[in-house]
Structure 1
Amino acid sequence: MTNISVLDPSASPLDYYGFELRRHREAAGLTQKQFGDVINYTGSLVGQIETARKLPTDVFSERADAALGTGGLLSRLVGLVLRSQLPAWFQQVAELEARASEICTFHTHLVHGLLQTEGYARAVLGALDTSRLDDRTAVRLARQRIFEKSEPPVLWAVVSEAALYQEMGGRATMRQQLAQLLDFEENRRINIQVLPYSAGAHAGLQGSFDLFRFASDPDIVYTEGYGMGHPTANPETVRDCSLRYDHLQAAALSLRDSAEVIRRAMEERYGEQRDSDRHPVA
């Protein structure tokens, strides 16, 4: 095991978390195994987190805070730890999401990461790379914490109807994902519109993009390529994308009709199990 004394708490949020966890555990007079028994985790896992070899989770942090009387320190740190594990090129986007007062997104073939379930996120992230999949999934889902703030952003999400039928992770995963989208139906801060197939040619044909609006800073547009992101505050680009988004919303279904399309896809495509002739199986 790595000697904790060589850990530099200023090296990264993960190192700082491990340093603080060990400091408080030792102050409580507990070995790693004893502490693990208290919070229902193995001593080995405690050691891995203390030496920055394993990411902590929300549940681990909450139990550790309660057991060590840290006043919620570790629970406050875990969000920063998870955000720091995002790809370097995406960390700026996560910061934009955290600061924005309004987020407008358009996606052609995926449900946006801020709306993904765990199963859907695992399927997307594991499509080509299954390494550290648990950690990478937790990191993605941690971005959704922005909706737990006292003043969460308003989210407008226009999603192509194709994304409802692009099966990610199997039928059960898709049913759960679409059910989660429907759970937001009464949430006025999370608004989901479906761009139907019948819209034909539309203003988003050039690809997906996000538009971030802030209380006192200029708007920022974000587009994404292979392994890189492109945020810009260029006024001309922002104006162009804002107009495109207005046209996309105009072409998309209403919130109520969008919910009906999502519900229909969930029931008809991912509801009953069917045989090869598409007949329901009793």
Structure 2
Amino acid sequence: MAAISSDNHGLRLVTRYVVLTLIALIFVFPLVFMVVSSFKPDLQLLRDASSIRAFLPVGDISTDNYSAAFERAPIGLFVFNSVLVTGVTVLLSLLICSLAAFSFAFLEWKGRNTLLSIIIATLIIPFETIAIPLLLLVSKLPWIGLEGLSVGWLNSYRVQIIPWIADGLTIFLFVQFFKDLPRDLIEASRVEGASWWQIYRRVVMPLSGPVIATAAILKFLVMYNQYLWPLIVVQEETYRPVMVGLQYFFQLNTAWGEVMAYLTIITVPVLAFYLALQRAFIASIASTGVKG
């Protein structure tokens, strides 16, 4: 009986790994196709797309597409803009949304549940319905900078950052995580005379590594893939992000090899951010715990 049980367990384990491998391949194939195609000329790229050769670095392989892509568009500038806007927005969003969630989860004040319900309800509102009102708003708002007082936020980094700092999903994720934390920790900290800010900074946030990593990855993907909003509010090349920069490769004649090269380049920051957050996520889980 023990041998049969062991065989069944081994079979289930092999089946599970086979299924997981197939799922992983489904997600990896488009990336492999993108990277391999970025080294092929257009004619070969289109010819190989109908066979297994689309995933193999065979034929006329070169880096000409990358050279041509950098000549066609200021890719370095676009990547810098996207990384800057995304990085600043993610950091500010984690701070503001976690503070808001802390007040919803631990503080008692009138109208707390009603306001949280309204914030969560904003998740069902499509961005397209508020795009024009938001555009009219940011075009009239004042700003004090190095050059003094100015009116309007168009063609700037701030117009791509500030409207997206706080969002209902990130607040909701933090609230749900905070509510699952042991209340004994909060009560013990209050008994010892800790302020709410000290509890937030020294007790709650050090235990919140998993939700921080989750919220950061989701926010990063949303901000890095922004297209419609930057297209509306940014007309100057100086502030354009990578997704708007993709238009450069569909003007006049479309060079698919250059498109693949561009997509490969702009994917690198996403993979780097994900790998960094994955390590931080695993480390936070390993180090999180309540000592007796």
State the TM-score, normalizing by the size of structure 1.
Answer: 0.27
Higher relative helix content: 2
For the pair shown, which has the larger CA radius of gyration, 1 or 2?
A: 2
Higher strand content, 1 or 2: 1
User: Per chain length, whose mean CA-contact separation is higher, i.e. which structure has more relative contact order (CA < 8 Å, sep 6+)?
Assistant: 2
